[in-house]
Amino acid sequence: MKVTSKEEAFYIIETQKSGLPFGAIKYLRDYGKDDEILKKIIEGLESFEDHSDASLSYAIVAEGHIDRALIDPVIGLYTSEIDSSDFMNEQGLYLFGKLLREIGEEVVEKSLAEVFRLHEIDSNACYHFLFDSFRFADLDKYDAQISK
pLDDT tens track for 118-137: 999 999 999 999 999 999 88
Taking the mean position of all CA atoms in its chain, how far away is CA 72?
Answer: 8
Is 85 a residue whose pLDDT tops 80? no
> Mean of the pLDDT values across residues 103-121?
95
The reported pTM is 0.91
More confident: 44 or 142:
44
pLDDT at position 147 is: 64
pLDDT by residue (tens digit) across 38-63? Answer: 999 999 999 877 667 899 999 999 99
**Helix/strand/coil (H/E/C) assignment for every residue in 55-81:** HHHHHHHHHHCCCHHHHHHHHHCCCCC
> Mean of the pLDDT values across residues 105-110?
96
pLDDT at position 127 is: 92
Burial class, 94, CB count within 10 angstroms (exposed 0-12 / middle 13-18 / buried 19+): middle
Average pLDDT, the chain: 91
